[in-house]
């Protein structure tokens, strides 16, 4: 907003929730909405889940699917997944009828796998309890699995033209700069919510929501905002005060804790790899992977690692570790490799099929294991995988197994 004097600035810094119409009906807010929509009409990103500007609400199924996929994931990564999902399952009813394992397999590589489980569960609820039609209000959408406040608002605005603010990271950034909100996130969220709610126009709220997202993604960028190209530059208090590039401010996050564990990769004589399905609850729930100890805060003991082995084999430790960063911690996995006849009672899958269906961290471990077979158990570093230092003499890094199942002195 154009904060040309202290009085006007205070009015926008402390909007009164009891009178939202005061701001919404103001000439300044109306002008900002008009300027932003005019910019969007000319510059809207062409995305497979969108309708063109001014064309009216989009398909709720496609909006919902895209918003779930876009959580913590960039547009370029989502596009091919969205295309595959909508080809396989063009509507919510066909998605609900799909086996969950097929949905999880198609999701592999997108990360945050609880989203995939909730996606399938939500499709079932919409099909079973709502006749295949999504609720058209924020309140109704919030009753569905996997849908939180932002996603509910985005679907309500974009698919049903409800006048609600959908506030993602892009919108937070635009609003913090527009109003020169210097309070660090997350403490600034209530203030950002208030000004965002006040900014939503009665006409074309869905296009307005997407215009804010596009502005934040393309012009009001995190580190190098292109203020000279911004349709709101004349009203941006952050730009006028020379603060735009520094906003929003964020409270520093503590470093992510590091965890270590191990996985076992057993190759049957025909090249198939032993896999297991992880429990539904917890990280990577319901996905396929390699067996091994849990990823707890404390490193596993040699006894714990030995107990997690899927069977007796000549286990060799790969020289390369699989490394991956999750939302709340970083993980390093030692990879233990063996070949031979199938281990009793265990499930195997063709390597490429297992690799395609596995989440990223398991895919890294599988690739390390197969590279070890090609290279005589000497592993070469590859993308996303770092080479570790040689193990201590006698396998001290992982310890020796108790019992006859494997010799950790070789690891």
Half-sphere exposure for 338 (CA within 13 Å, toward CB)? 25
| Beta strands at 258-268 and 330-340: parallel, antiparallel or unpaired | parallel
Longest dimension (CA), the chain: 80
CB 185 within 8 A of CB 248: yes
Does the model's pTM come out above 0.75?
Answer: no
Residue range(s) of every CATH 3.90.79.10 domain in the chain: 258-410
Find the radius of gyration of the CA atoms of the chain: 26
**Rounded to whole angstroms, what are the CA distances from 126 to 137, 312, 314, 331?**
14, 47, 50, 36
DSSP lists the bridge partners of residue 273 as 267, 349
Per-position pLDDT tens, the chain of length 411: 333 333 333 333 333 333 444 444 477 888 999 999 999 999 999 999 999 999 989 999 999 999 999 998 999 999 999 999 999 999 999 999 999 999 998 998 888 888 999 999 999 999 999 999 999 999 999 999 999 999 999 999 999 999 999 999 999 999 999 999 999 999 999 999 999 999 999 999 999 999 999 999 999 999 999 999 999 999 999 999 999 999 999 999 889 999 999 999 999 999 999 999 988 877 888 888 999 999 988 999 999 999 999 999 999 999 899 999 988 899 999 999 999 999 999 999 999 999 988 889 999 999 999 998 766 543 333 323 333 333 332 333 333 332 233 333 333
CB 406 within 8 A of CB 314: yes
d(CA 360, CA 370): 15
Q: Per CATH, the architecture of 258-410 is what? A: Alpha-Beta Complex (3.90)
Which one, of 107, 160, 158, 104, lies nearest residue 133 by Cα?
Answer: 160
Residue range(s) of every CATH 1.10.340.30 domain in the chain: 6-246
How many helices, marked H, and strands, marked E, lie in the chain? Answer: 17, 8
* 6-246: CATH superfamily: Hypothetical protein; domain 2 (1.10.340.30)
**Rounded to whole angstroms, what are the CA distances from 167 to 90, 189, 236, 242, 379?**
27, 10, 18, 24, 45
**Rounded to whole angstroms, what are the CA distances from 368 to 337, 374, 377?**
9, 10, 10
Residues with Cβ within 8 Å of 46's Cβ and at least 6 positions away in sequence, in order, are none
Backbone angles phi, psi at 337, to 5 degrees: -120, 140
Q: Which residues are catalytic?
A: 67
């Amino acid at each position: 907003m154009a904060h040309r004097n202290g009085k006007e600035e205070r009015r926008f810094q402390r909007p009164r929730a009891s009178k939202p119409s005061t701001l919404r009906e103001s000439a300044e807010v109306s002008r900002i909405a008009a300027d932003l929509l005019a910019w969007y009409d000319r510059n809207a990103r062409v995305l497979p889940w969108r309708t063109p500007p001014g064309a009216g609400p989009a398909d709720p199924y496609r909006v919902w699917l895209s918003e779930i996929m876009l959580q913590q994931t960039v547009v370029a990564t989502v596009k091919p997944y969205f295309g595959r999902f909508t080809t396989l399952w063009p509507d919510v009813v066909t998605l609900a009828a799909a086996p969950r394992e097929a949905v999880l397999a198609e999701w592999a590589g997108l990360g945050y796998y609880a989203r995939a489980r909730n996606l399938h569960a939500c499709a079932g609820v919409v099909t079973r309890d709502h006749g295949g039609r999504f609720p058209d209000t924020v309140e109704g959408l919030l009753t569905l699995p996997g849908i939180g406040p932002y996603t509910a608002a985005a679907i309500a605005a974009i698919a049903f033209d409800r006048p609600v603010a959908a506030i993602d990271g892009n919108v937070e950034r635009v609003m913090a700069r527009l109003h020169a909100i210097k309070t660090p996130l997350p403490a600034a969220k209530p203030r950002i919510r208030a000004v965002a709610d006040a900014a939503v126009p009665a006409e074309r709220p869905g296009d307005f929501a997407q215009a804010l997202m596009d502005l934040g993604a393309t012009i009001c960028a995190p580190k190098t905002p292109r203020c000279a190209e911004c349709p709101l530059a004349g009203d941006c208090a952050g730009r006028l005060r020379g603060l735009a590039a520094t906003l929003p401010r964020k409270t520093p996050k503590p470093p992510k804790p590091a965890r270590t564990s191990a996985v076992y990769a057993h190759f049957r004589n025909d090249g198939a790899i032993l896999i297991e399905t992880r429990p539904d609850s917890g990280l990577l729930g319901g996905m396929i992977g390699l067996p091994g100890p849990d990823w707890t805060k404390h490193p596993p003991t040699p006894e714990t690692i030995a107990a997690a082995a899927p069977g007796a084999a000549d286990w060799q430790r790969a020289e390369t570790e699989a490394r991956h960063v999750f939302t709340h911690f970083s993980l390093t996995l030692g990879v233990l490799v063996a070949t031979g006849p199938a281990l009793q009672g265990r499930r195997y899958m063709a390597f490429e099929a297992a690799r395609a269906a596995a989440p990223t961290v398991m895919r890294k471990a599988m690739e390390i294991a197969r590279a070890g077979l090609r290279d005589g158990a000497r592993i070469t570093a590859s993308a996303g995988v770092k080479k570790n230092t040689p193990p201590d003499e006698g396998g001290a890094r992982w310890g020796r197994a108790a019992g006859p199942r494997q010799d950790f002195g070789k690891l």
